[in-house]
């Protein structure tokens, strides 16, 4: 006799193993409304504590994938490759990476998400561009990828709709960090894009969902294993996320910074991360023989302006104001600026990414409820990066808020993320590891 949905929740709560058919039934019932949001939230919490075996994770991924349509991009020439980050603070890499890789001849169909927990979302950042639409249909998505080389949208009703709803629930039920839920979420929407290859940026550190290398590597291993089992070329790169990536944390200000990278500017760590991931994508896409060859091609696409031109075409195709590519300053920031100054001289020995990320959420750059809108204009600017030498009174950071009171309220929280010590911290590599 078939078990009830409530029995399946209880079984997973008690550490049991569900069959593929049972997991498919849970997802199917969630999509048709017979399994309520609060019941799915209970199931997610059970998974958070009890985990899923590989077979269960594969079943969940496939159930979420087939809750909608799998796009057919066979008409788009070339090997289609996407990139996905597990989430970090200040991680705006996708915005500059997609047009850069497309400019080098590798089509990049990218379905992105919104802010999750303390981390920012690519869609929220892109929507800081006036008129930019991320809610395109699957047919428009495929057409733009073919015409421009890349398109960046959110999940539609056609693309893994179950994941779209589960993703929103995870964000507000403290179940974000679960490895099997992350794997199923990422791969269900990525496989639905019709891609041939996927490069995964698995963040590790204080500002990542995976705080230590062992858990980050476990996530990378599972992502590569499940993705390869689905017949895709998959590479995972582990990158450090103890301090925010780049100098901007927010939405409009992060998009500004990503656009600067396409003009050969931008913070060194952001540029380095973009080039590392872009090189992996070019090799998977068959447009470079190795990482060195790939990096040379990426740098050339920035230098000759072709990457910026692809970005302009993509923004225009998605209804946005393409002039922001040449004039990032058009992306308005909140008018009230509060400066945070160093209390002593020394070296910036730490910038706690988690603290900065949570401060950004509290300011309105992120969400505490699934139905909340973000304020694209508020944000944090890090004027002193990790390792910088500072004197007492130097500006460490600035916060951009709608009101002076809001700036004064958030300033101590952001300032508490900084550690200033007598000695400079040891230099650590951006890339922690690689999994294939």
**CATH number of the domain within which 194 lies:** 3.40.1030.10
Same domain, 303 and 277: yes
Residue 218 located in a structural domain: yes
Same domain, 325 and 400: no
Q: How far apart are CA 31 and CA 23, in angstroms?
A: 13
Q: At residue 431, does pLDDT exceed 70?
A: yes
Q: At residue 276, does pLDDT exceed 90?
A: yes
Please give the average per-residue pLDDT across 384-389, as a whole number: 97
Please give the average per-residue pLDDT across 304-315, as a whole number: 98
> Residue 367's pLDDT band (boundaries 50, 70, 90)?
confident
Same domain, 188 and 264: yes
Report pLDDT for 370: 65
Same domain, 307 and 355: no
Which one is catalytic: 82, 91, 163, 352?
Answer: 163
Please give the average per-residue pLDDT across 93-111, as a whole number: 97
Residue 60 located in a structural domain: no
**Hey, how many other C-beta atoms are within 10 angstroms of the C-beta on 3?**
13
DSSP 328: G
Same domain, 20 and 121: no
Same domain, 218 and 345: no
Proportion of the chain above pLDDT 70, given as a percent = 99
Report pLDDT for 226: 86
Same domain, 306 and 189: yes
For 90, the domain range is 81-329
Residue 349 located in a structural domain: yes
Same domain, 116 and 230: yes
Report pLDDT for 152: 96
Residue 58 located in a structural domain: no
Among residues 244, 312, 248, 252, which one has the least CA distance to residue 100?
A: 312
Burial 26-45 (b: 16+ CB within 10 A, else e): bbebbbeeebeeebbbbbbb
Q: Catalytic residue at 189?
A: yes
Of 329, 355, 385, which marks where a domain is finished? Answer: 329
Which one is catalytic: 80, 83, 84, 206?
Answer: 84
Q: Catalytic residue at 84?
A: yes
Which tens digits make up the pLDDT trace of 218-269? Answer: 999 999 998 888 889 999 999 999 999 999 999 999 999 999 999 999 999 9
Cα angle 273, 323, 378; round to 5? 60
Report pLDDT for 116: 65
Proportion of the chain above pLDDT 90, given as a percent = 82
Q: At residue 388, does pLDDT exceed 80?
A: yes
Residue 181 located in a structural domain: yes
Of 268, 302, 329, which marks where a domain is finished? Answer: 329
Q: How far apart are CA 313 and CA 216, in angstroms?
A: 36
> Residue 199's pLDDT band (boundaries 50, 70, 90)?
very high
Which tens digits make up the pLDDT trace of 21-49? Answer: 999 999 999 999 999 999 999 999 999 99
Which one is catalytic: 67, 185, 188, 377?
Answer: 185
Report pLDDT for 28: 96
Pairing of strands 81-85, 248-250: unpaired
Same domain, 239 and 360: no
The DSSP element (H or E) to which 96 belongs, if any, is helix 93-103
Report pLDDT for 176: 85
> Residue 154's pLDDT band (boundaries 50, 70, 90)?
confident
Report pLDDT for 164: 85
Please give the average per-residue pLDDT across 400-406, as a whole number: 97
Mean pLDDT of the chain: 94
Residue 194 located in a structural domain: yes
Q: Give me the CATH number covering residue 365.
A: 3.90.1170.30
Q: Catalytic residue at 185?
A: yes
| Structure-block tokens of residue 256 | 């500004």
Same domain, 12 and 103: no
Domain count, the chain: 3
Same domain, 86 and 230: yes
Which tens digits make up the pLDDT trace of 62-97? Answer: 999 999 888 889 889 999 999 999 889 999 999 999
Sheet holding 248-250, edge to edge: 248-250, 379-382, 395-401, 336-341
Residue 317 located in a structural domain: yes
Contacts of 45 (CB under 8 A, 6+ apart): 173, 175
Q: Give me the CATH number covering residue 31.
A: 1.20.970.10
Report pLDDT for 121: 87
Residue 112 located in a structural domain: yes
Please give the average per-residue pLDDT across 169-175, as a whole number: 90
Which one is catalytic: 114, 189, 190, 287?
Answer: 189
> Residue 144's pLDDT band (boundaries 50, 70, 90)?
very high
Main-chain dihedrals φ then ψ at residue 216, nearest 5 degrees: -65, -40
Same domain, 340 and 196: no
Q: Catalytic residue at 69?
A: no
Of 278, 310, 329, which marks where a domain is finished? Answer: 329
Report pLDDT for 137: 87
pTM higher than 0.75 for the full model? yes
Which one is catalytic: 12, 83, 170, 297?
Answer: 170
């Amino acid at each position: 006799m078939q078990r009830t949905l409530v029995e399946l929740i209880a079984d997973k709560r008690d550490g049991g193993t569900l069959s593929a058919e049972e997991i498919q039934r849970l997802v199917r019932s969630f999509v048709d409304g017979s399994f309520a949001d609060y019941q799915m939230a209970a199931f997610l919490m059970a998974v958070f504590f009890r985990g899923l075996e590989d077979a269960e994770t594969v079943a969940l991924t496939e159930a979420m994938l087939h809750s909608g349509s799998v796009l057919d991009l066979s008409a788009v020439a070339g090997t289609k490759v996407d990139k996905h980050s597990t989430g970090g603070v200040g991680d705006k890499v996708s915005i500059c990476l997609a047009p850069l890789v497309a400019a080098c001849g590798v089509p990049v169909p990218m379905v992105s998400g919104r802010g999750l927990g303390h981390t920012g979302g690519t869609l929220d950042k892109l929507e800081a561009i006036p008129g930019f639409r991320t809610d395109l249909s699957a047919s428009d998505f495929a057409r733009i990828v073919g015409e421009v080389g890349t398109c960046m949208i959110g999940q539609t009703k056609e693309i893994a709709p179950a994941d779209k709803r589960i993703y929103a629930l995870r964000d507000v039920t403290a179940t974000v960090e679960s490895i099997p839920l992350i794997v199923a979420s990422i791969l269900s929407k990525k496989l639905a894009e019709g891609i041939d290859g996927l490069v995964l940026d698995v963040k590790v550190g204080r500002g990542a969902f995976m705080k230590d290398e062992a858990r980050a590597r476990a996530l990378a291993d599972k992502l590569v294993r499940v993705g390869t089992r689905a017949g895709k070329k998959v590479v995972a790169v582990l990158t450090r996320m103890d301090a925010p990536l780049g100098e901007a944390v927010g939405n409009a200000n992060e998009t500004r910074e990503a656009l600067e990278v396409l003009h050969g500017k931008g913070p060194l760590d952001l540029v380095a991360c973009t080039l590392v991931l872009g090189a992996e994508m070019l090799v998977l896409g068959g447009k470079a023989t190795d990482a060195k060859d790939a990096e040379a091609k990426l740098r050339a696409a920035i230098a000759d302006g072709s990457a910026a031109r692809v970005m302009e075409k993509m923004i225009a195709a998605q209804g946005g104001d393409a002039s922001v590519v040449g004039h990032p300053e058009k992306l308005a920031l909140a008018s009230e600026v509060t400066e945070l100054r160093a209390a002593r001289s020394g070296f910036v020995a730490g910038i706690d990414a988690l603290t900065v990320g949570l401060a950004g959420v509290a300011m309105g750059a992120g969400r505490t409820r699934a139905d909340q809108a973000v304020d694209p204009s508020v944000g944090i600017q890090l004027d002193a990066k990790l390792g910088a030498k500072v004197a007492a009174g130097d500006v460490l950071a600035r916060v951009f808020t709608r009101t002076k009171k809001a700036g004064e309220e958030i300033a101590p929280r952001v300032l508490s993320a900084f550690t200033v010590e007598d000695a400079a911290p040891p230099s650590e590599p951006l890339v922690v590891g690689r999994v294939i």
